[in-house]
Structure 1
Amino acid sequence: MLDTPRLILRPYEAEDLSSYLRMTGEPEVFRFLSGKPLTEKEAWSRLLMYVGHWSTFGYGFFAVFEKSTGDYLGETGLARFRRGIGSRFDELDEAGWVFSPRAHGRGIAYEAAQAAHEWYEQRWPRTTFCLIAADNASSFRMAEKLGYKRRDSVQVLDDVTLLEREPSRK
């Protein structure tokens, strides 16, 4: 579990499904990802993947909660998704962040992602990457604040830009 001034980050649990479903059911949340909200089956599968990732590798995506209210706000972390975009990137961990619109514009996503990156890098100081949809300006700003640099455009689901981050220490 990680604490920041406003947030609590912890690995997902199966009991998080109802909160996760509410967030992933908001059209704004997946606008830049799949373009449509997740079904219950898709949300459940993704949640189980996150739980399994923690169990297998000892790291993964954190569920993010507001400290003052206990409200679930979104997720951030790093994981080995093996998206098939080349052997170099399939062996690297991918950063990501998805937050409910009620967390937007408050610095919540950056606070959480920065904490997750610091925690990860203390344990695994290695290169990471992220994929961002071409028209997702706010995610580009956040990635750049986290130290990611643009590399290539790739075809995964739609056109996305690949950004890479070298660890601050090796």
Structure 2
Amino acid sequence: MSEQGTGPWATQRLVIRKGRASDAEEIWPWREDDELNRWLTAIPTSPEQNKERWVAGLDSNYVAEMAGTIVATGKIAPEQAWAQSEVADQVDGAQVEIGWVVAPGHQGRGIGTEFARALLDISFASGARRVTAYCFADNAASARIMEKIGMRREAHFRTDSLHRSGRWLDSYVYAILDTDPR
């Protein structure tokens, strides 16, 4: 993927920028919220582990701020598109995955939709031709956001994801192409 620029980028209410190592301290309190953690793939168990994971992902991490406070974190991560070997070198940067987490206390106000739409715009402006996003099927709020920003549900996998509750859950795959209407 071509360089995504350094930002910051602005939406109606948000300032979006690349993540910094120092952001880990501000987002750590979210990681102690059980409702938020319900859908996260991995939960850090200490501020140190949170910072370590955040810093390890800085190439892909983004934050959304309102009035100087981080209200959401997200990612734009390269995915390897499938290709035949003769043309495999042409798929670099063609496909990315986006994801987001909205801070407790800021959910239900359209911030997730606004942020996800911005991540989509940044992805396409950076040269991606396909953007994907994933969620547990039970995470209705995340699926709604994907649909609101124009993504299509391309797959519904039945009981393919083991949740930390011990239950096998369904999952969804959403995607949008740079040529799709938004």
Give the TM-score normalised by the residue count of structure 2: 0.74
Name which of 119, 125, 130 aligns with 1:122.
125
Any residues of structure 2 matched to 1:9-158 within 5 Å, and which? 9-34=16-41, 37-40=43-46, 41-51=48-58, 53=59, 60-66=60-66, 68=67, 70-80=68-78, 88=82, 92-154=95-157, 155-158=160-163
Name which of 3, 7, 11 aligns with 1:4.
11
Over aligned residues, Cα RMSD in angstroms? 2.4
Q: How many residue pairs were aligned?
A: 154
- Distance in 2 between residues matched to 1:153 and 1:75, nearest whole Å: 25
**What CA deviation, in whole Å up to 9, does each residue of 1:106-147 have, x standing for no partner?**
111111121221122122141121111111111111101112
When structure 1 is superposed on structure 2, of 14-23 and 41-50 the one drifting more is 41-50
Q: Report which of the two structures shows the higher radius of gyration computed on alpha carbons.
A: 2
Q: Is the 8 A contact 2:98 2:119 kept in 1?
A: no
Which structure shows the higher helix fraction?
1
Q: Secondary structure at the match of 2:38?
A: coil
| Ranges in structure 1 where 5+ consecutive residues have no aligned partner | 54-59
The sequence identity of aligned pairs, in percent, is: 24
| Ranges in structure 2 where 5+ consecutive residues have no aligned partner | 1-7, 83-91, 164-168
Q: Give 1:19 deviation, angstroms.
A: 0.9
Q: Give 1:37 deviation, angstroms.
A: 4.2
Q: Give 1:148 deviation, angstroms.
A: 1.4
Counterpart of 2:177, as a letter, is E
